[in-house]
Amino acid sequence: MEFAEHLIRWFHVLSGVMWIGLLWYLNFVQVPTMPKIPDDLKPAIGKHIAPAVLFWFRWSAASTVLWGLILAWMEGYLGSVLSIGLTDGSTTSALLGIAMWFGLIMAFNVWFVIWPNQKIALGLIEVADDSAKPKAARKAMLFSRTNTLLSIPMLYGMVAFQNPPF
């Protein structure tokens, strides 16, 4: 059982690195660089790079959440962290609980706000109104930026659970 927990923790961390790495790539590299890219090259990003990034982005989000929930259940602290430490009075449970809830909110944003709006913005699905694309792109970007901000305390809480600051 110990090795299984180790392996699941590794899958959780690996998935999380991919998810947050792609999140930060999108927000710190791709989006700020887009205005500098010549117009004739932009279609390659929208048709080839962005869909691939978003595929790995959304599935790494799902994988991170899945492995994290399994790990917390196997380790026996799922209830105490989901209750943000209210059931066991533990500060470390509160730290991981806040991190876990931020991760769940972020994954929800990925699947139910960012991805549906990116499909519209990238033209992967047909929309009747062309003005829908810029609106969808903006909404996806704002929720992605929100996830970027949430990722910082989320990462802190996850690390602090394993390495308490007190």
- The DSSP result for 29-66, as a single string, is IIHHHGGGS-TTTHHHIIIIIHHHHHHHHHHHHHHHHH
Q: How far apart are CA 53 and CA 25, in angstroms?
A: 9
Confidence of residue 164 (pLDDT cuts 50, 70, 90): confident
Whether residue 166 has pLDDT greater than 80: no
Question: Quick one: pLDDT at residue 163?
Answer: 86
Q: What pLDDT sits at residue 130?
A: 81
Enclosing domain of residue 112: 2-162
Is 122 in a helix, a strand, or coil?
Answer: coil
Q: How far is CA 46 from the centre of its chain?
A: 20
- Residues 6 or more apart whose Cβ sits within 8 Å of residue 23: 57, 144, 147, 148, 151
Q: Is 128's pLDDT higher than 80?
A: no
Nearest alpha-carbon partner for 143 in 108, 111, 113: 113
Per cent of the chain over pLDDT 70 is: 100
What does the pLDDT look like over 25-82, one tens digit per residue? Answer: 999 999 999 999 999 998 888 889 999 999 999 999 999 999 999 999 999 999 999 9
Provide the mean pLDDT of the chain.
Answer: 93
- pLDDT on residue 123: 87
- The count of structural domains within the chain is 1
> Phi and psi at residue 124, in whole multiples of 5°?
-75, -20
Determine whether 72 is exposed, middle or buried from the number of CB atoms within 10 Å of its CB (0-12, 13-18, 19+). buried
Distances (CA, A) of 117 to 11, 49, 111, 166: 28, 17, 10, 42
Q: Report, as an integer, the average pLDDT of 93-102.
A: 95
Q: What whole-number distance in Å separates Cα of residue 44 and Cα of residue 135?
A: 21
| Count of alpha carbons within 13 angstroms of residue 34, beta-carbon side | 16
Q: Which pLDDT band holds residue 146 (cuts at 50, 70, 90)? A: very high
Look at residue 142 in the predicted model and tell me its pLDDT.
96
| pLDDT at site 46 | 84
pLDDT at 105: 98
* Predicted confidence (pLDDT) at residue 129 exceeds the cutoff of 90: no
Q: Is the pLDDT higher at 89 or at 59?
A: 59
